[in-house]
Amino acid sequence: MADALPVVFQRRAVQEIDAIDEWWRANRPLAPALFAVELERAVYALTLMPTLGARAHNERARDVRRFLLRRTRYHVYYRVRRGALEVLAVWHAVRGTGPRLR
Q: How many domains does the chain have?
A: 1
Supply the mean pLDDT for the chain.
89
Does some domain include residue 100? no
Across 42-53, average pLDDT: 95
- Secondary structure letter of residue 52 according to DSSP: G
Domain harbouring 84, CATH code:
3.30.2310.20
Does some domain include residue 68? yes
pLDDT of res. 57: 75
pLDDT of res. 62: 78
* Structural domain boundaries, residue 29: 7-95
Does some domain include residue 101? no
Name 68's Cβ contacts closer than 8 Å, sequence gap at least 6.
Answer: 74, 75, 93
Across 9-29, average pLDDT: 95
Lowest mean pLDDT among 16-20, 45-49, 91-95: 91-95
Position 73, amino acid = R
Name 101's Cβ contacts closer than 8 Å, sequence gap at least 6.
Answer: 56, 58, 60, 61, 64, 77, 88, 89
Q: Are 46 and 53 in contact (CB under 8 A)?
A: yes
Does some domain include residue 102? no
Across 42-65, average pLDDT: 88
pLDDT of res. 101: 67
Reported pTM: 0.89
